[in-house]
Amino acid sequence: MFKSLGIFYLCAVLSWALAFVIFILSADLFFNGGDINDEVMICAFGVTACAFGILARIEQTSLKDRSVSDKEDINETATDSFIDPNKCRNCGNKLQPDQNFCEQCGAQRTPPQ
């Protein structure tokens, strides 16, 4: 959706505020009684609170997706950089041309020869 932390907080606060209104109206209906219009109003506030709650969760998910895509970009640029095949990628030890594994840490040569 918007991928905005502000929108997430706005939807979450509206959802909780409407849930509080539902609680107050339901308590009033339970203790004081009421007619069908009160019940309809409570249901309408309930549906609206659920809708804002769902929107907040969707926004939260899109925020997580954004952070994952940022990490993927970092990983892509890191793998695009030059890797010296004569040095161990794990510990930096110098490798001989005929070695496929590092003598110090045992990591496999990148790329294996």
DSSP H helices, 1-113, are 5-32, 36-80
What pLDDT is recorded for position 7? 87
pLDDT in tens, 51-105: 999 999 988 888 876 655 555 555 555 555 567 778 888 888 888 888 888 888 8
Name which of 11, 1, 22 is nearest 54 in CA terms: 11
pLDDT in tens, 18-56: 999 999 999 999 999 888 888 999 999 999 999 999 999
| Token pair for 36 | 């069908």
CA-based R_g, the chain, Å:
29
The label of the residue with tokens 């918007």 reads: 2
What pLDDT is recorded for position 23? 94
What pLDDT is recorded for position 34? 85
Contacts of 90 (CB under 8 A, 6+ apart): 102, 105, 107
